[in-house]
């Protein structure tokens, strides 16, 4: 949940995207041929270059057969759990539940009385295991319940994105994470099924940290996930485990996100590792432990320009691929200095960019109506003092005193402290973004709830009027002109 613009784009089966609402049917993919390739390549004895050559020949044969498409009966495309090609995604993230984030639940960190505890790694490292586990179990049992899923469905949403860390599946010696999240993941899938919601299981934290953010599980100056093949291998194994776990439940678990926000801005080596990982994890989602899998693969853009992925994982081998990008206008001094009208204009302009795309149907998978970075611990918890690192908006973030915009009072906290004009501002920024993002495939807001940052909370927005009970019932339908 950091840096730049996030969209989540569903890669259609051909190079062009049909116009939404035009009645066009998705062009048919030859999934049967791809399945043959996967099965043959998986069953050939691994005897070096011979296996590679046979796989390449098999794929070449499959590709040539695709040319007969006009002569053959239609072969059913990838059967996904949600009609991404024809319906809008309207969803919400379940942030701060199975992966801790200090700004979402600051009380969990403040109550430790230890300033060194700044992320989930240190939450286990600097506490007695029994104490930490008891605290987490209480949190897991209460932060998100079936009632939340019921409310999400009643709000007209159809997706939840569920972040989870690698440590829920396995840990190595010296890794202090507390395990126990998997039963709650399974409960969540059951609740989603009961209330008609789709789930995107999102690997939010990887071994070594893929971005150094506290929401990866371990805050650090430089991410190390990409620096060791063992980290990547462990991640691939976990993705295969997730895909196998839910291979018969794609009607609910419609998508798997192999990794959240790898830090491509750190260098080409991160991008190269990420690109290969997207391909390798795709194979595990499609063929977990030799079994067929139909979950959509959601790959993040690694903070690179959206069009830089245009020729990546395209036909004929890949199908059911989503490109995930995150849209925030608050993580730089310049963005915090924008006026409300400028924030709205930026959102509306981005919608026009989405609509003009002819290669990717884009879904914005993380965004917020908040246009400040004022929330406590949003930029981190100081590991020496235990205090908030600070905000760019009020100039308390290191190095931003000269670019201060104003006070954070009344711009974060409980909705009961918000003025009517601020609630109106939140309503306008929410609608401008939701409306713009629906010019493509839709959106997934971050996040459903937060302890003391209601400006980020979908639940609080519903209760206090800046988010409509029906997400398509706009108060400002002409806000983008």
Q: Report d(CA 125, CA 177) in Å as an integer.
A: 7
- Nearest Cα neighbor of 149 from 163, 140, 159 is 159
Q: Say which of 85, 101, 120, 261 is annotated catalytic.
A: 261
- Rounded to the nearest 5°, which phi and psi values hold at 160? -125, 135
- Nearest Cα neighbor of 370 from 292, 462, 278, 466 is 466
Q: Report d(CA 201, CA 119) in Å as an integer.
A: 21
SS3 of 381, please?
strand
For residue 318, count CB atoms less than 10 angstroms from its CB and return exposed for 0-12, middle for 13-18, buried for 19 or more.
Answer: buried
- Nearest Cα neighbor of 459 from 209, 143, 246 is 143
For residue 296, count CB atoms less than 10 angstroms from its CB and return exposed for 0-12, middle for 13-18, buried for 19 or more.
Answer: buried
Q: For residue 438, list its beta bridge partners.
A: none
Maximum distance among all Cα pairs of the chain, rounded to whole angstroms: 70
Task: Check residue 426 and report its DSSP letter.
Answer: H
Q: Residue 33, Cβ neighbours under 10 Å: how many?
A: 20
Active site residue 366: yes
Give 31-63 as a DSSP string.
Answer: HHHHHHHHHHHHHS---THHHHHHHHHHHHHHH
Active site residue 151: no
Q: Report d(CA 305, CA 246) in Å as an integer.
A: 32
Q: Say which of 366, 431, 438, 455 is annotated catalytic.
A: 366
- State the catalytic residues: 261, 366
């Amino acid at each position: 949940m950091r840096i730049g613009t996030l969209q989540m784009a569903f890669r259609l089966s051909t190079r062009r995207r049909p116009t939404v609402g035009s009645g066009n049917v998705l062009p048919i993919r030859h999934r049967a041929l791809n399945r043959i390739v996967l099965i043959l390549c998986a069953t050939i004895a691994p005897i070096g270059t011979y296996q590679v050559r046979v796989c390449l020949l098999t794929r070449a044969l499959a590709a040539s057969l695709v040319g007969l498409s006009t002569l053959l009966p239609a072969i059913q495309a990838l059967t996904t759990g949600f009609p991404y090609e024809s319906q809008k995604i309207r969803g919400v993230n379940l942030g701060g539940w199975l992966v801790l984030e200090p700004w979402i639940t600051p009380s969990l960190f403040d109550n430790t009385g230890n300033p060194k505890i700044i992320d989930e790694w240190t939450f286990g490292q600097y506490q007695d295991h029994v104490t930490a586990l008891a605290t987490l179990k209480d949190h897991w049992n209460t932060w998100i319940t079936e009632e939340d899923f019921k409310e999400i469905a009643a709000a007209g949403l159809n997706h939840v994105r569920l972040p989870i860390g690698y440590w829920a599946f396995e840990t190595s010696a010296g890794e202090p994470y507390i395990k126990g999240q998997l039963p709650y993941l399974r409960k969540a899938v059951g609740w989603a099924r009961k209330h008609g919601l789709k789930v995107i299981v999102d690997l939010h934290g990887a071994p070594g940290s893929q971005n150094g953010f506290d929401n990866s599980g371990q805050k650090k100056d430089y991410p190390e996930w990409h620096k060791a093949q063992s980290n990547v291998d462990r991640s691939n194994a976990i993705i295969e485990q997730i895909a196998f776990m839910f291979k018969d439940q794609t009607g609910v678990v419609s998508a798997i996100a192999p990794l959240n926000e790898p830090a491509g801005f750190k260098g080409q080596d991160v991008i190269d590792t990420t690109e290969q990982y997207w391909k390798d994890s795709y194979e595990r989602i499609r063929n977990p432990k030799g079994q067929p899998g139909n979950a959509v693969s959601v790959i993040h853009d690694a903070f690179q320009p959206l069009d830089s992925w245009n020729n990546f994982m395209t036909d004929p081998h890949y199908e059911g691929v989503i490109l995930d990008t995150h849209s925030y206008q608050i993580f730089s001094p310049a963005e915090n200095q924008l006026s409300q009208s400028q924030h709205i204009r930026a959102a509306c302009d981005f919608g026009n960019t989405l609509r003009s795309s002819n290669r990717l149907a884009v879904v914005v998978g993380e965004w917020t109506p908040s246009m400040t970075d004022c929330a406590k611990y949003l930029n981190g918890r100081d590991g020496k003092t235990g205090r908030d690192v600070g905000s760019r908006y009020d100039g308390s973030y290191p190095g931003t005193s000269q670019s201060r915009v104003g006070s954070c009072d009344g711009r974060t906290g409980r909705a009961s402290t918000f003025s009517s004009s601020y609630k109106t501002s939140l309503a306008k920024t929410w609608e401008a973004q939701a409306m713009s993002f629906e010019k493509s495939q839709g959106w997934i807001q971050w996040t459903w709830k937060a302890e003391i940052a209601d400006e980020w909370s979908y639940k609080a927005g519903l209760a206090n009027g800046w988010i409509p009970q029906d997400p398509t019932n706009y108060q400002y339908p002409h806000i983008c002109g």
